[in-house]
Amino acid sequence: MLQKKVAAIHDISCFGKCSLTVALPIISAAGIETAVIPTAVLSTHTGGFSGYTFRDLTEDILPVANHWKKENITVDAIYTGYLGSKEQIEIVKDAIKIIKKEGGLTIVDPVMADNGKLYGGFPEDFPIEMKKLCETADIITPNITEAAFMLDIPYKPAPYTKEYIEDMVVKLSEITNGAVVLTGVCFQKDKMGAAIYDGKEISYVFSNYVEAAYHGTGDIFTSTLVCGVLNNKSLIESAQIASDFTASCIKLTKENYPEMKYGVNFEAKIPELIKKLGL
Ligand code: PXL
């Protein structure tokens, strides 16, 4: 069988496992060729470190896509995450048109906020622009904060009511043609997971909640979801695998390595992921 190919469009945070340093190893381990278009290069991610370097790569995105086109390189799926500037949103939409195979999938993780706050460096109107990228996606994977900001509804901390989550999921499905996977869903203290809505029915997946707030866990979740979907699992099954894998990485890390900004030890759990994916 021909190997599937995904283009991951995220930043490189040189230290502090997240974005491309998470997407590349996880998706590659699932047998999928992972090409990359870096949106920016930072010395570390922006959560918890000060004085990080930031090189914006807005000007490189379309030349990379156009070069691939000249070489007849197209991809089965695009997976976008942290973008380096507001201007990149329109540019990434154009790049997707250039490099995605006909019938290919676009997975948009609107990475920009968590715990009720925008990440450092993003302007207040970034969520309005990010909404435009979500419109074009086949699957979006916002967390609760990102969803609240894009929908302009109040952010609430966990635990949630079913009404709050289901209203959010239905409103999200109105801003995208694709399916919604809302992460960080928690109705009771000991379970955390995601709500999945394909326009017909809302489903839930949950895993045991481990109390910790490590960086990069959203990127681990969506990277794993991409592995499931591209290995022909259903969206619900992929979300369950992603939720379980993320929880398992957090649990292992919490037992051994308490510095939240350094990210989780997902590497040790990759064999477990391969088993979960049935590879
Ligand atoms: O994991 C999300 C993420 C990705 N990239 C950068 C970040 C963050 C979250 O803080 O700062 C640069």
Q: For position 181, which CATH number holds?
A: 3.40.1190.20
Residue closest by Cα to atom 12 of ligand 1:
45
Mean pLDDT of the chain: 97
What DSSP string runs through 125-182? THHHHHHHHHHT-SEE--BHHHHHHHHT----PSS--HHHHHHHHHHHHHS-SSEEEE
Atom of ligand 1 nearest to the CA of 42: 12
Residue closest by Cα to atom 1 of ligand 1:
216
Residue closest by Cα to atom 6 of ligand 1:
45
Residue closest by Cα to atom 7 of ligand 1:
45
d(CA 239, CA 145): 19
Kindly report, residue by residue over 227-269, the tens digit of the pLDDT.
999 999 999 999 999 999 999 999 999 998 879 999 999 999 9
Kindly report, residue by residue over 87-139, the tens digit of the pLDDT.
999 999 999 999 999 999 999 999 999 999 999 989 999 999 999 999 999 99
Tell me whether strands 191-197 and 202-208 are parallel, antiparallel or unpaired: antiparallel
Distance of CA 53 from the midpoint of ligand 1 (Å): 13
Which residues constitute the domain of residue 202? 5-277
Confidence of residue 155 (pLDDT cuts 50, 70, 90): very high
d(CA 164, CA 182): 12
Cis peptide before 159 (omega within 30 of 0): yes
Per-residue model confidence (pLDDT) at position 1: 75
Number of domains in the chain: 1
Position of tokens 């999921």?
Answer: 169
Per-residue model confidence (pLDDT) at position 13: 98
Query: What is the mean pLDDT of the segment spanning 44-66?
Result: 97
Residues near 86 by beta carbon (within 8 Å), at least 6 away in sequence: 123, 125, 126, 129
pTM listed for this prediction: 0.98
Report whether pLDDT(192) > 90. Answer: yes
Query: What is the mean pLDDT of the segment spanning 152-174?
Result: 97
Distance of CA 109 from the midpoint of ligand 1 (Å): 12
